[in-house]
C-alpha cells in the first residue's frame, strides 16, 4: 500500500496543469489572508477557507510568517510556512513558543520557562470561491491540524489528559467586493488547552467540543484591511478557567509579496494570571 501523504500529493500534482503552464501569483491583493497563530491561512486568531500563497488554480503558491505577541505577563511567538496547491489544497507547518517570563516563578515552573509545540496542518477547498461566483455561496474548506507538545511531562503534570492531539475544522469565507467586506465563520472540534500549549483535555472534559471562530474585515483601500475576530475555546483544566479570545487588527500589503499585520489582542486570563491584553505583530511573505 502506498503511503497516504505522498500518494495524495502525487494525485494532486498530477491533476494540476503541466509545469510549463504554471502561473505565479494571480490572486487579488490580500485575498489569501494572513497567517493564524497555528500556521493556517486566515486571520490572526481564526482559520479561513482561503488557501495560502498568491497562486490561483493554475499554480503552486507559498507563504512564510513570523508572529510575536507581547502580553503583561507572557510573550508568544510563532513561525512557519504554508504551501498552496492550485488554490485547492494547503499544507502548513508552524512552531509556537510561549514564554512565561517572571510569571513562571509564580506558577512554580521557573522564571522564563517556555512552552512550545509543533503544528502540522492540511486544508482542502471543497466548494465556492472567496471572490467570484454567487455572493450567497462562500468558499468552504475543511481542515485538520495535528499538534505535538514539546513539554509532555509538564502538560500532563498540570492536568492535561494527553500531550498531542488533532483538531478538525470547517470554514466558510466570502469577500463582498461591492461593499469591501470580508466575512468568515469557522467551526472547530477540539479539546486543546490554550491551543494545545497546555496539552489536550483534562478534568473539566476530555471529549472534543465544538468551538466557533469568526472574523469580519473591511478593506479601506487596496492595500489596507481592518477588522475584528472572536474565538471561543474549551476549558478543560481544573487549576484555571480558560477564556475566549478577541482581537482588532489592521493588515497592510507593503508589496504584493509582503504583508505586515498589527493587532490588539485580548486573550483573557491564562493559567490564573490577570487578563492578558497586549499587541501582536506579524510579517508574512507570500508568492
Q: What is the pLDDT of residues 9-37, one digit of tens each?
A: 444 444 444 433 555 568 999 999 999 99
The whole-chain average pLDDT of the chain stands at 92
What 3-state class would DSSP assign to 137? coil
- Judged against a pLDDT cut of 50, whether residue 6 lies above it is answered with no
Count how many residues are written for the chain: 287
Q: What digits encode the pLDDT tens for the residues 32-81?
A: 999 999 999 999 999 999 999 999 998 999 999 999 999 999 999 999 99
33 touches 46 (CB < 8 A):
no
- What is the pLDDT at residue 15? 46
Q: Does the pTM of the predicted model rise above 0.85?
A: yes
- What is the domain partition of the chain in residue ranges? 42-286
Among candidates 134, 133, 130, which has minimal Cα distance to 52?
A: 130
Please list, in sequence order, all residues whose beta carbon lies within 8 angstroms of the beta carbon of residue 203, skipping any fewer than 6 positions away: 159, 236, 237, 238
Q: Does domain 42-286 have CATH number 3.40.50.2020?
A: no
What share of the chain has pLDDT > 90, as a percent?
89
Give the residue ranges of DSSP H helices in 18-159: 103-107, 152-157
Among candidates 237, 243, 186, 228, which has minimal Cα distance to 210?
A: 186
Q: What is the arithmetic mean of pLDDT over 182-187?
A: 98
Q: What digits encode the pLDDT tens for the residues 244-266?
A: 999 999 999 999 999 999 999 99
Amino acid at each position: 500500500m502506498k503511503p497516504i501523504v505522498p500518494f495524495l500529493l502525487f494525485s494532486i500534482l498530477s491533476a494540476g496543469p503541466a509545469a510549463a503552464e504554471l502561473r505565479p501569483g494571480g490572486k487579488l491583493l490580500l485575498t489569501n489572508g494572513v497567517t493564524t497563530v497555528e500556521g493556517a491561512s486566515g486571520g490572526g486568531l481564526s482559520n479561513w477557507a482561503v488557501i495560502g500563497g498568491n497562486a490561483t488554480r493554475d499554480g503552486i503558491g507559498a507563504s512564510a510568517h513570523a508572529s510575536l505577541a507581547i502580553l503583561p505577563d507572557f510573550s508568544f511567538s510563532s513561525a512557519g510556512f504554508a504551501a498552496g496547491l492550485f488554490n485547492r489544497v494547503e499544507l502548513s507547518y508552524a512552531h509556537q513558543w510561549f514564554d512565561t517570563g517572571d510569571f513562571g516563578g509564580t506558577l512554580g515552573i521557573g522564571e522564563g520557562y517556555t512552552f512550545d509545540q509543533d503544528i502540522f496542518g492540511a486544508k482542502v477547498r471543497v466548494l465556492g470561491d472567496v471572490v467570484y461566483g454567487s455572493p450567497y455561496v462562500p468558499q468552504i474548506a475543511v481542515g485538520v491540524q495535528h499538534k505535538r507538545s514539546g513539554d509532555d511531562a509538564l502538560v500532563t503534570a498540570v492536568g492535561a489528559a494527553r500531550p498531542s492531539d488533532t483538531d478538525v475544522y470547517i470554514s466558510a469565507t466570502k469577500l463582498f467586493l461591492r461593499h469591501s467586506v470580508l466575512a468568515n465563520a469557522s467551526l472547530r472540534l477540539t479539546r486543546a488547552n490554550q491551543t494545545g500549549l497546555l496539552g489536550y483535555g483534562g478534568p473539566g472534559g476530555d471529549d472534543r467540543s465544538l468551538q466557533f471562530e469568526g472574523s469580519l474585515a473591511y478593506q479601506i483601500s487596496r492595500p489596507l484591511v481592518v477588522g475584528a475576530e472572536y474565538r471561543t475555546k474549551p476549558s478543560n483544566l481544573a487549576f484555571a478557567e480558560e477564556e475566549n479570545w478577541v482581537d482588532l487588527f489592521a493588515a497592510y500589503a507593503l508589496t504584493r509579496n509582503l504583508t505586515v499585520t498589527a493587532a490588539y489582542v485580548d486573550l483573557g486570563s491564562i493559567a490564573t494570571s490577570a487578563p492578558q491584553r497586549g499587541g501582536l505583530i506579524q510579517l508574512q511573505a507570500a508568492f
